[in-house]
Amino acid sequence: MHPAPSVIAFTTLSGAGFGLLFWLGLGLPDVTGWVAFAFFAVAYALAAGGLLASTFHLGHPERAWRAFSQWRSSWLSREGVCSVAALVVMGLYGAGLVFFDTRLAPLGWAGAALALATVFTTSMIYAQMRTVPRWKTPLTPALFFAVALAGGALLAGQAIAAIMLLALAGLVQVLWWRRGDGAFAAGGTDMATATGLGGIGQVRAFAPPHTGGNYLLREFVFVVGRRHAAKLRVIAFALGYAVPLVLLALSFSHALAALAAISHLAGIAVSRWLFFAEAEHVVGLYYGAR
């Protein structure tokens, strides 16, 4: 599928932002006053910035507010509701820390739960799509959870938790890649099953469905070379997981911690690009993608 920059920014930044809000809701790190303000500012810049970036992928960004009305059936709508609830609750919790040096623990726990719910609803936007076999797996929400929690721990300065979660996230990432590479073939979908004509013989396209470009081709038929994808996977794994782990294993310093966080975000951005670029939509069958 087409790896739109706005969606890559959304899934990368918002995941890290809500991951950081989760740790802040648990009282980690234990800060108040202006130090707390700095942590919450980073969390809100990432979370809200990612959500704002996602609206640029809409045909009519000014109608984004309508997404909130379909929460009964749409994971996108549920994500919007959960994200706003998380930002409001954590805003109240953060205000107590910053202005009154008061920790309202139940409010923080509720905000942490809503932050995780937001990450889950984001992942389910993709995991529920039967038309993209690579995404249709429990490993998709597992990957989103692992990356968000690891990135949040890294930004929150929780070195031990970050080391364990980065290792776990790296393992889930590799499993997700390995499973995804054979997902389309394992699904058994081809031109014959898609048209229902397999019973009468071999099915092939006589002519292309369209003579020019269209929305489906722009959004759902994107081909990335295997060698190119393999190199990007190495870069994503190295920057997103390996380099931060090495930096965290060294003697702690704020400079190394900042470098680890930057490396992690860069690596996750590359992996998110691959998340979309390698996703084969079944509509591609009609355009000769397979």
What's the pTM?
Answer: 0.93
User: What per-residue confidence (pLDDT) applies to 126?
Assistant: 96
User: What per-residue confidence (pLDDT) applies to 288?
Assistant: 62
Q: What is the 3-state secondary structure (H, E, C) of the chain?
A: CCCCHHHHHHHHHHHHHHHHHHHHHCCCCCCCHHHHHHHHHHHHHHHHHHHHHHHHHCCCHHHHHHHHHHCCCCHHHHHHHHHHHHHHHHHHHHHHHHHHCCCCHHHHHHHHHHHHHHHHHHHHHHHCCCCCCCCCCCHHHHHHHHHHHHHHHHHCCCHHHHHHHHHHHHHHHHHHHHHHHCHHHHHCCCHHHHHCCHHHCCCCCCCCCCCCCCHHHHHHCCCCCHHHHHHHHHHHHHHHHHHHHHHHHCCCCHHHHHHHHHHHHHHHHHHHHHHHHCCCCHHHHHHCCC
How far is 248 from 132, CA to CA, in rounded Å?
A: 36
Structure tokens at 112: 């942490």
- Pick from 134, 75, 116: which is nearest to 277 by CA? 134
How far is 5 from 79, CA to CA, in rounded Å?
A: 20
**Which residue in this structure is represented by tokens 């190199």?**
231
How far is 15 from 126, CA to CA, in rounded Å?
A: 14
Superfamily of domain 5-191+212-287: Formate dehydrogenase/DMSO reductase domain (1.20.1630.10)
**What are the domain boundaries of the chain?**
5-191+212-287
- Pick from 194, 267, 271, 188: which is nearest to 229 by CA? 271
Q: Tell me how far CA of residue 32 lies from CA of 97, 99, 212, 223, in angstroms.
A: 5, 8, 59, 49
User: What per-residue confidence (pLDDT) applies to 219?
Assistant: 73
User: What per-residue confidence (pLDDT) applies to 289?
Assistant: 62
User: What per-residue confidence (pLDDT) applies to 53?
Assistant: 87
Residues recorded for the chain: 290
User: What per-residue confidence (pLDDT) applies to 91?
Assistant: 98
User: What per-residue confidence (pLDDT) applies to 82?
Assistant: 97
Identify the segments of the chain with pLDDT beneath 70.
57-64, 208, 210-211, 215, 217, 288-290
Measure CA of the first residue to CA of the last residue in the chain; give whole Å. 14
Is the peptide bond prior to 244 cis by the omega test (within 30 degrees of 0)?
Answer: no
How far is 15 from 1, CA to CA, in rounded Å?
A: 21
User: What per-residue confidence (pLDDT) applies to 72?
Assistant: 86
Query: Would you tell me how many other CB atoms lie within 10 Å of the CB of residue 249?
Result: 12
User: What per-residue confidence (pLDDT) applies to 200?
Assistant: 85
User: What per-residue confidence (pLDDT) applies to 173?
Assistant: 98
How far is 147 from 123, CA to CA, in rounded Å?
A: 11
Structure tokens at 14: 């918002």
User: What per-residue confidence (pLDDT) applies to 57?
Assistant: 67
Give the dihedral sign, CA 93/41/32/157: positive
